[in-house]
């Protein structure tokens, strides 16, 4: 490794850029605001995709694919939707050597083309629910791009479902929010707060938007997934009706929900430290790395043989394992490199260890070491990884709890908000107050948490009555 990473406490944004660059996750592309996702970063996304795809299928969804280009006129059919997305559109005006009669926009999200299609797919209540997901690239022309967090092109999944009743679509919206929360907590090792977005922050075209909000290493919030109850807005805009069992014509009820490659950035900021990336075992492309330690050719032969055997055993046990047998680098160099890349468990294998019939395991998330008998490694690797997964979640939860504050005075809030963290405050429910808070502090209402207790209070800004606290924080 070359120079040390900038410590996150010194310059967090710079640390973030350096980790992404040195851990070889991604880099800026020669296309404004776009990124190239490098193999190691893409490997994390592949793990995410594989878990999420299984979770979607287990909840009854199937995948399909809709065009990346959308006729410009489609966007205009839902008034709030076009207003929200217009400033961010990339537009194809020429194709096949000619100017197009009607321009196409590169999809910023696919509600419009999908609901235009659903009009033909849905006639009767028997066609419902329609539970479709799409894995795709989308484009939003961001003014201040940042690798993974805000890029003009990003990869995501977007679920688009159609239902016969308001109740069913509402249930689906919350079901998928819960899927996202389970994914964040159980796989990303990232505690999240489920809640409703304010009117001002909801998706352009939605009736209600729900989010999961996570705390990053610097105490800022990151919206890690959203699920939208679209009501009948898109069904009305695209004239999608069904005949009910009773023979009545009704507009269809809709949801949409998505998570994106932004989650890779969330993973970096949620768990990363002075040494670089810290990956949760369940999403790490490499879960265990074996580093041989030897001097001279004789030792090398013995040690590498033991390492190869262990590699095969660990893989057979179901652990994604890499044996770093590069001869041109010393063990210390390799330790640093795999720490930088966030590999959860390092296994050090040296001649003295082998003589004693044991190896040393080093945990990335807390720096602790553990000695195991050689023959126990494969048997215990999955529980060792589980232990690391849990430890990482506990660490993140503890940090969030330490940095979550109930604050009742707006002066106190203004004083403390720059230090980062989540602030549980009373708010009078108006957009005016919400805007005032943002203008004066740059913090925003993240969501209205489902699990906030009913607790009468007074808005910290206006003193008007409030029934429960909301989370306010600076955010990515």
Among 39, 318, 367, 463, binds a copy of itself (CB under 8 A): 39
Q: Compute the distance between CA of residue 273 and CA of residue 271 in angstroms, rounded to an integer.
A: 7
Is 68 an interacting residue with respect to a copy of itself (CB under 8 A)? Answer: yes
Instruction: Give the residue, chosen from 2, 58, 97, 454, that forms a contact with a copy of itself under the rule CB under 8 A.
Output: 97
Give the dihedral of Cα atoms 151, 152, 154, 156; nearest 10 deg: 110
Q: Which of 78, 111, 153, 218 binds a copy of itself (CB under 8 A)?
A: 153
Q: How far is the CB of 261 from a copy of itself (least distance, A)?
A: 8
Helix axes 296-316, 377-402, angle to 10 degrees: 80
Among 34, 243, 244, 462, binds a copy of itself (CB under 8 A): 34
Of 64 and 301, the one with the shorter C-beta distance to a copy of itself is: 64
Cα–Cα distance between 4 and 38 in angstroms, integer?
A: 22
Q: Tell me which DSSP letter residue 410 carries.
A: H
Cβ-based nearer residue to a copy of itself, 8 or 258: 258
Among 1, 51, 69, 360, binds a copy of itself (CB under 8 A): 69
Dihedral Cα 222, 224, 229, 230, nearest 10 deg: 80
Distances (CA, A) of 199 to 44, 172, 210, 429, 438: 34, 20, 11, 9, 15
Q: Which is nearer to a copy of itself, 163 or 426 (CB)?
A: 163
Show Cβ contacts of residue 273 under 8 Å, excluding neighbours closer than 6 positions: 8, 217
From 138-146, 228-236, 301-309, 416-424, span contacting a copy of itself (CB under 8 A): 138-146
Q: Does 66 bind a copy of itself (CB under 8 A)?
A: yes
Residue 39 beta carbon to a copy of itself: minimum distance, rounded to whole angstroms: 4
The answer to whether residue 353 forms part of the interface with a copy of itself (CB under 8 A) is no
Smallest CA-to-CA distance from 272 within 370, 191, 392, 391 is with 392
| Shortest Å distance, C-beta 175 to a copy of itself | 19
Binding mask 432-471 for a copy of itself (x = CB under 8 A): ----------------------------------------
Least Å from the CB of residue 31 to a copy of itself: 5
Choice between 107 and 271, CB closer to a copy of itself: 107
CA-wise closest residue to 242 among 159, 165, 312: 165
319 binds a copy of itself (CB under 8 A): no
Among 132, 147, 222, 349, contact with a copy of itself (rule: CB under 8 A): 132
161 touches a copy of itself by CB under 8 A: no
Give yes or no for residue 318 binding a copy of itself (CB under 8 A): no
Give the separation between CA 397 and CA 446, rounded to whole angstroms. 18
User: In what side-by-side order are the strands of the sheet with 130-139?
Assistant: 62-63, 130-139, 153-163, 253-260, 221-231, 208-215, 192-196, 444-449, 469-473, 422-426, 404-406
| Residue-wise burial string across 188-216, b where 16 or more C-beta atoms lie within 10 A, e elsewhere | bbbbbbbbbbbeebbbbbbbbbbbbbbbb
In angstroms, what is the minimal distance from the CB of 90 to a copy of itself? 4
Joined together, the tokens standing for residue 1 give 């490794």
Instruction: Examine residue 311 and tell whether it contacts a copy of itself (CB under 8 A).
Output: no
Q: Where do contacts with a copy of itself occur on this chain (CB under 8 A)? A: 29-32, 34-39, 42-43, 45-46, 62-71, 74, 86-97, 103-104, 106, 113, 116-117, 132, 136-137, 139, 141, 143, 152-153, 155
């Amino acid at each position: 490794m070359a120079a040390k990473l900038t410590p996150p406490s010194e310059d967090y944004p710079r640390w973030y850029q350096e980790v992404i660059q040195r851990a070889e996750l991604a880099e800026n592309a020669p296309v404004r605001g776009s990124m190239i996702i490098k193999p190691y970063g893409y490997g994390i996304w592949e793990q995410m995709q594989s878990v999420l795809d299984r979770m979607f299928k287990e909840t009854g969804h199937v995948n399909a694919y809709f065009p990346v280009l959308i006729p410009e006129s489609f966007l205009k059919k839902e008034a709030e939707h076009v207003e929200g997305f217009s400033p961010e559109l990339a537009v194809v005006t020429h194709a096949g050597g000619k100017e197009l009669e009607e321009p196409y926009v590169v999809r910023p999200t696919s509600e419009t083309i999908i609901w235009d299609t659903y009009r033909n797919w849905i006639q009767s209540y028997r066609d419902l629910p329609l539970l479709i997901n799409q894995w795709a690239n989308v484009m939003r022309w961001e003014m201040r791009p940042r690798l993974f967090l805000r890029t003009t092109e990003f990869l995501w999944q977007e679920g688009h479902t159609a239902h016969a009743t308001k109740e069913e679509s509402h249930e689906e919206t919350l079901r998928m929010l819960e899927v996202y929360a389970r994914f964040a907590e159980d796989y990303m090792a990232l505690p999240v707060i489920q809640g409703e977005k304010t009117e001002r922050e909801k998706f352009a075209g939605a009736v209600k938007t729900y989010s999961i909000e996570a705390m990053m290493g610097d105490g800022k919030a990151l919206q890690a997934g959203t699920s939208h109850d679209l009501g009948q807005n898109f069904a009305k805009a695209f004239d999608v009706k069904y005949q009910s069992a009773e023979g009545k014509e009704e507009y269809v009820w809709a949801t949409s929900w998505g998570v994106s490659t932004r989650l890779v950035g969330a993973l970096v900021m949620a768990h990363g430290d002075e040494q670089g990336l810290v990956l949760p075992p369940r999403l790490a492309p490499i879960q265990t790395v074996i580093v041989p330690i030897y001097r001279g050719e004789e030792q090398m032969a013995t040690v590498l043989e033991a390492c190869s055997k262990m590699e095969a055993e660990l893989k057979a046990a179901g652990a994604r394992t890499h044996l770093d047998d590069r001869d041109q680098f010393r063990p210390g160099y390799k330790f640093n490199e795999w720490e930088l890349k966030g590999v959860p468990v390092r296994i050090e294998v040296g001649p003295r260890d082998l003589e004693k019939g044991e190896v040393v395991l080093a945990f990335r998330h807390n720096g602790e070491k553990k000695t195991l008998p050689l023959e126990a490694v494969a048997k215990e690797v999955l529980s060792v990884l589980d232990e690391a997964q849990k430890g990482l979640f506990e660490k993140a939860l503890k940090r969030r709890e330490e940095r979550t504050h109930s604050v009742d005075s707006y002066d106190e809030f203004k004083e403390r908000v720059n230090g980062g963290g989540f602030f549980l405050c009373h708010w009078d429910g108006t957009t005016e107050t919400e805007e005032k808070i943002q203008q004066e502090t740059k913090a925003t209402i993240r969501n209205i948490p489902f699990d906030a207790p009913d607790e009468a209070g007074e808005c910290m800004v206006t003193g008007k009555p409030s029934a429960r606290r909301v989370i306010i924080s600076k955010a990515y």
